[in-house]
Amino acid sequence: MSLGMFSLDGRVAAVTGAASGLGLAMAEALAWAGAHVALLDIDEAGLERAADAIRASGGKTETARLDVSDRAAIRTVIDGIADRHGRLDTVIANAGVTAGPGYRTEIGQINAVDDKVWDRVLGINLSGVFVTMQAAAKHMKRQRAGRIVAVASVAGLKSEVMCGYAYTATKAAVVNLVRQAAMEMAEYNVMVNGIAPGPFRTNIAGGRIKDPEIEAEFASMVPLGRIATTEEIKGLTLLLSSPASSFMTGTTIPIDGGIMAK
């Protein structure tokens, strides 16, 4: 089957937070389309399971342990991928963490936000995403082509009672990072876009959303009446990572079951 403009044959990609959840689904989509995909995550055991699954389905992949709160490590790992393969075509800055509950609970209210939690979430969700984009941009500028995709959230586009302050703040910042980087990178033919997921069934916050009561609460906010499976991120990932998005840059696209239309 020919994938045409969605084909990634011969291309090299990297995905942070790729051991599970959305990151793994994104990596699977890229591998299915023909890319050699570097899976990057702090979870070494999860990385090996993810790589084995991709290889079992015929995909090409490699792994590297990466803590995205370590800026030097991000640069070293991304540089290593580009140097080994002689190119770097798609980088997805996906790794992120929760900031705890939103303001509907006392511990999530603004006066209760813990300094350590705030700093940790900013270090991963904002600085980690920025440095991943920065490291990718260096190589893509040189080759005058590429795709950078940053994972934000609908909580970065609107207020969200279920999400903590640091999470909403960092995801909103990612949306503007995408705009800023897209303007700079346009002359190099590098497309920079964001994905803003609504509620998906993942392991973030220890998989709290998989609890039936929590899942029902999130589902009640979604016009489609349910939360998404990780498989449902794959189509948009492939669009933004492939030649099919050749005239798309600087935008963050919600994939949210209609939340942003309310």
> Residue 167 catalytic?
yes
Rounded Cα distance, 224 and 165, in Å: 26
Q: What CA–CA distances, in Å, run from 203 to 17, 144, 184, 210, 261?
A: 11, 36, 34, 8, 26
Of 103, 165, 167, 188, which one is the catalytic site residue? 167
Q: Which residue type occupies 231?
A: E
Tokens of 205: 């916050």
Cβ burial, residue 49 (10 Å; 0-12/13-18/19+): middle
DSSP, residue by residue, 58-85: T-EEEEEE--TT-HHHHHHHHHHHHHHH
Distances (CA, A) of 221 to 4, 98, 103, 208: 37, 19, 16, 16
Q: Which residues are catalytic?
A: 167
